[in-house]
Structure 1
Amino acid sequence: VMRVMLEALAAGLRLAIATTTTPINVDALLRTPLGAEWRRHFSAMGDASTASRKKPDPLVYQQVLAELCLPAQACLAFEDSENGLNAATAAGLQTLVTPTVFTVGQRFDAALLVLPHLGEPTLRLPMGVAGMDEPWVTLEALRRWHAGTLFESA
């Protein structure tokens, strides 16, 4: 996930966080890979301190979309659980799911794509992921997927 985030930032894309975990947990997750000033990389952030209801309620996504001043159709969500997917889709977001060992058995029928991970040059996606030009998720693949053209040839 960090590779895709850094590539998106380098390409000038806006990133946001929509989580219902605590700000302390978010800081613990992002401080090491992004540094003490990690917040500057995100245009909007919603967490347990801003959303009064947890996922699968879409409130945290709705708050972040309002802060971004963007419609859901202009954004792409990344989730790892059924509750997260349900929250994102209820807010109108297309969602890519990468389940964890704790959520792999959950239902992800509403996801546009479910992958075991986003891949890396050293950790390739399984063979046969349709529509992928590389054995890892790229910004171009995400753009095509979001536009509904992922499975068309480039």
Structure 2
Amino acid sequence: MLKAVIFDMDGVLLDSEPFWARAQMQVFGALGRPMSQADCDATMGIRIDQLVALRYPDLVNPPSQEEVVNHIVDEVNRLIRSEGTPKEGLDHAMALIRDQGLTIGLATSSPMAMVHNVLETLGIAHHFSALHSAEVERFGKPHPDVYLHAAEKLGVAPEACLAIEDSFNGLLAAKAARMQALIIPDPALRGDPRLAIADLKLDSLAQLEAAHLRR
């Protein structure tokens, strides 16, 4: 029986995946590593420091990895503040989950400073009983620790949690944590056969129904 719903952030609460792609293209491009949209799609859901470490050997005269990470994060935060809007159905989903008596948490690969920026921009911080970022974990998604520790903060067994994700890496993390998983795929992943491991697939949060939360 479900007791909690744990949201991913990027691509689930707001359409920030394009912000990450724009920031990567800008920062990596300026450092001699042009990035395509396909390059960005392939690493969706991966923690930014791990992504920078992956791309760093290809950069030309770069600053430190930490500085590259900070440049990307700063640009994404700027875009969130200036252009961030809630995903379709977010208010509906929050109200429905609360009406079902379920606790709400968040498990994200993004840094906690960005989490607070997003929640403040969208005005939804009051809905969440626990927030957890993979920045404090040894491994980010697709490793399950970010979900396991989010559930621990909520005081709920992982098996009693529903994770809501938009990326394949996030979906893998949720399933590895032994959670039920709802996938609302990023447009780049629509039709991807790997998403069949999800327990439920919807096109948007607006389609969430009470029956989906009684599993």
- Relative to the length of structure 1, the TM-score reads 0.71
Whichever residue aligns with residue 116 of structure 1, its letter is D
Equivalence for 1:111: 198
In the alignment, is residue 62 of structure 1 matched against residue 148 of structure 2? yes
- Aligned-partner SS, 2:171: helix
- Which residue of 115, 127, 130 corresponds with 1:44? 130
Cα distance in 2 between the residues matched to 1:42 and 1:50? 19
Contact 1:77 1:93 in 2 (8 A): yes
Greater CA deviation, 14-23 or 67-76? 67-76
Whichever residue aligns with residue 88 of structure 1, its letter is A
Whichever residue aligns with residue 103 of structure 2, its letter is R
Give ranges in structure 2 of 5+ residues lacking alignment. Answer: 1-89
Greater CA deviation, 91-100 or 10-19? 10-19
Q: Which has the higher helix share?
A: 2
Deviations 1:42-99 (A, max 9, x none): 2211113332311000010111111122112211110001100000000000001001
- Aligned-partner SS, 2:146: helix
Task: Return the index of the structure with the highest Cα Rg.
Answer: 2
Name segments (4+ residues, structure 1) moved above 6 Å.
none
Equivalence for 2:212: 142
Equivalence for 1:6: 95
Contact 1:58 1:91 in 2 (8 A): yes
- Aligned-partner SS, 2:134: coil
Cα distance in 2 between the residues matched to 1:105 and 1:24? 33
Whichever residue aligns with residue 4 of structure 1, its letter is A
Cα distance in 2 between the residues matched to 1:50 and 1:41? 23
Equivalence for 1:82: 168
Give ranges in structure 1 of 5+ residues lacking alignment. Answer: 120-135, 148-154
**Pairs aligned (count):** 125
Cα distance in 2 between the residues matched to 1:142 and 1:53? 30
Whichever residue aligns with residue 175 of structure 2, its letter is T
Whichever residue aligns with residue 59 of structure 1, its letter is D
- Aligned-partner SS, 1:49: helix
Greater CA deviation, 5-14 or 103-112? 5-14
RMSD: 1.9
Change in 2 beyond 3 A, CA 1:104/1:26: farther
- Relative to the length of structure 2, the TM-score reads 0.53
Equivalence for 2:51: none
Equivalence for 1:129: none
